[in-house]
Amino acid sequence: MKIFHFFDSPFFDKPKSNTHLASMFSSRMLRNLSLGLMLFITPLTTYAAWDCHDTPPYPVDASITINSGDVYQHLGSAYRCGIGGWCSSPALWAFEPGVGYYWEQAWESLGPCADFHNTAPQLQGISITDPVDGSSIEYPAEAVLAVDHRYQVAISVVDSESNLASWSLSTFEKLGTEYRNEQFIKRGDIAAQAEETIYAELRTGIRTNTTYGLRITVTDSAGATSEWFYDFDVVGETTSPLTISSTHAVYLGEYGSTAVRAWNPVSMPARPDVTLPSGSLSNVHIGNSTSSGGAAIGFDYQLSYSWQAIALGPMTFVASDDEREVTAVTEVLPQDGLPLIRVEAPAQAGEGETVRIVVTALDHDQLTLAQLTQADTVVPASSTQARMQGEQQWGLDLSYELDMPGHAMFFTVVAQDGDGHWRYQEINIGLASDGHSCASQAIDVDSVPAYPDWPRLDWQGLPSHAINGDRMVYENALYQARWWTQSIPGSNDAWEFLCDL
């Protein structure tokens, strides 16, 4: 089927190259032709498009005989055979239409393919199912969904040409007849099928008494696109949410991020142990927010940090609104790539006293082992708690409760990561006696601050930390800091025990 061409006369009833055309004119005639005319007659046989809807593909395996006048489509264009013997030749290098070295002597180009019979995809049905009770709502019935809930959505579409290509789902907040604040849910491809059922998860947020629209967009391989909207209401009562998430672990000097989602405006105080790049702290009204597995509708505020860790240890981020406060912790690990060991244990204890030891072992990627040994014997933990990132264990928290004997106790903590790297740390718990008292050593503690009244201030002028040489009192004992720290006195190697009060 010929759609459009410039000339339709016996003179131009066969394809002609520029050389062939030129040979039809005498040299004198060519000399009398103006440049403009020469430019005009160059594309004598030019087609805008050819309807390839019923046009068979060119048989590259030369399995059939091609006759003069036969039309085939190949590599996105249509061609009419001029010389049957050459069109049927197995010598593709010479006569493959549009490709062979001499293809123009055997074929006539009819232009690029187009399908003028293509119809757009059609919607067969939409269902929204509650996975809890199994109830289902079918389009076009009125949809009323519960607040803060997850639903399974199934959308059936068909295409008469069996050329479905792609689809996408998104939601909008509806104000009158206007849809706004689009929230993308999911998209996918379809392998040229006549029908397809699209599955996705829809998660409602906490904004109630509001109408939303579910938009379904389906496109076929010819570029025809259909779009449908299914409105639904969200009803119910719930408390306004406030959630915080943070990078679970970073190496010292690395960048991490912390984010908060809320219905009400939120705030996050600055921290002295992270560096915030310029412009990284923002409070932006975003309308909707993406959640893993589907769209979360109704979250109005998001506050986010992008920060660089400048101190080892756990960093606790705090976010609050008018109703509550939430926290998230990021562990900062040393850059040597070895597991990090953190120990909380008393520097000394009296005979018969219950000694509590808390061991935390962390790794950036994968922690495979963490244990406490005494004289090469593994000490059984009173409790064990794994820290997971997805299915990967990156940390272990171990607790021990032991009775203090009549002598000092010595332990070793061992931690190993997935690459076979080890780290060891020793724990010494001395036996308390009068010789360890501050009075017996003539140490004045009257002017020493007690934890958490830090001797050093942060940039806001608030008690914040201790540095090398600073002394602090905690649980009737005097400690001296070995380096910059915000840890509890006596809880780790940052502190040196001096004496009992």
Structure tokens at 234: 């969200």
What per-residue confidence (pLDDT) applies to 267? Answer: 65
Mean pLDDT of all residues in 282-303: 38
Between 35 and 18, the higher pLDDT residue: 18
CATH 3.30.43.10 fits 340-431, yes or no: no
Mean pLDDT of the chain: 77
What per-residue confidence (pLDDT) applies to 55? Answer: 84
Lowest mean pLDDT among 38-42, 319-323, 436-440: 38-42
Sheet-wide strand order for 409-417: 348-349, 422-431, 409-417, 367-374, 377-378
Burial 87-109 (b: 16+ CB within 10 A, else e): bbbeeeeebbbeebeebbebbbb
Domain ranges in the chain are 10-114, 122-235, 242-333, 340-431
Mean pLDDT of all residues in 277-290: 32
Between 269 and 67, the higher pLDDT residue: 67
What per-residue confidence (pLDDT) applies to 43? Answer: 30
Q: How far apart are alpha carbons 396 and 424 in whole angstroms?
A: 15
What per-residue confidence (pLDDT) applies to 277? Answer: 45
User: 57-100 pLDDT, tens per residue?
Assistant: 888 776 788 999 999 988 888 999 999 889 988 888 999 999 89
How many CB atoms neighbour CB 188 within 10 A?
A: 12
Q: Are 113 and 72 in contact (CB under 8 A)?
A: no
Fold for domain 122-235?
Coagulation Factor XIII; Chain A, domain 1 (2.70.50)
What per-residue confidence (pLDDT) applies to 79? Answer: 93
What per-residue confidence (pLDDT) applies to 270? Answer: 61
The CATH architecture assigned to 242-333 reads Sandwich (2.60)
What per-residue confidence (pLDDT) applies to 251? Answer: 87
What per-residue confidence (pLDDT) applies to 345? Answer: 93
- CB-based contacts of 33, cutoff 8 Å, min separation 6: 25
Structure tokens at 96: 């493959």
What per-residue confidence (pLDDT) applies to 7? Answer: 28
What per-residue confidence (pLDDT) applies to 280? Answer: 36
Largest CA distance in the chain: 126
For 308, the enclosing helix (H) or strand (E) is strand 301-309
The three-state secondary structure class of 110 is: strand
Q: How far apart are alpha carbons 426 and 391 in whole angstroms?
A: 30
What per-residue confidence (pLDDT) applies to 237? Answer: 66
Q: Are 366 and 283 in contact (CB under 8 A)?
A: no
* Phi, psi (degrees; rounded to nearest 5) at 36: -60, -40
Band of pLDDT at residue 4, cut at 50, 70 and 90 = very low
Q: What share of the chain in percent tops pLDDT 70?
A: 77
Is the pLDDT reported for residue 118 higher than 50? Answer: yes
Q: Are 343 and 427 in contact (CB under 8 A)?
A: yes
Q: How far apart are alpha carbons 415 and 396 in whole angstroms?
A: 10
Q: Are 481 and 473 in contact (CB under 8 A)?
A: no
Q: Are 173 and 212 in contact (CB under 8 A)?
A: yes
Band of pLDDT at residue 24, cut at 50, 70 and 90 = very low
Q: 245 - beta bridge partners?
A: 259
* Phi, psi (degrees; rounded to nearest 5) at 467: -125, 180
Between 90 and 307, the higher pLDDT residue: 90
What per-residue confidence (pLDDT) applies to 281? Answer: 35
User: 371-417 pLDDT, tens per residue?
Assistant: 999 988 999 999 999 998 888 899 999 999 999 887 778 899 999 99
Q: How far apart are alpha carbons 297 and 204 in whole angstroms?
A: 5
Lowest mean pLDDT among 7-16, 79-88, 435-444: 7-16
Q: How far apart are alpha carbons 173 and 180 in whole angstroms?
A: 5
Sheet-wide strand order for 354-362: 340-344, 354-362, 392-403, 383-389
Highest mean pLDDT pick, 193-202, 318-327, 352-361: 352-361
Structure tokens at 312: 């080892």
What per-residue confidence (pLDDT) applies to 255? Answer: 83
Q: 386 - beta bridge partners?
A: 396
How much is the CA Rg of the chain, to the nearest whole Å? 38
Asked if 122-235 and 242-333 have one fold, the answer is: no
For the entire predicted model, the pTM comes to 0.41
Between 9 and 136, the higher pLDDT residue: 136
Q: Comparing C-alpha atoms, which of 353, 330, 355, 352 is closest to residue 343?
A: 355
Q: Comparing C-alpha atoms, which of 494, 488, 495, 486 is closest to residue 457?
A: 486
For residue 468, give Cα distances in angstroms to 370, 373, 484, 486, 495.
Answer: 30, 30, 6, 12, 9
What angle is formed at CA 160 by the lines to CA 154 and CA 161, rounded to 5 degrees? Answer: 115
Mean pLDDT of all residues in 170-177: 78
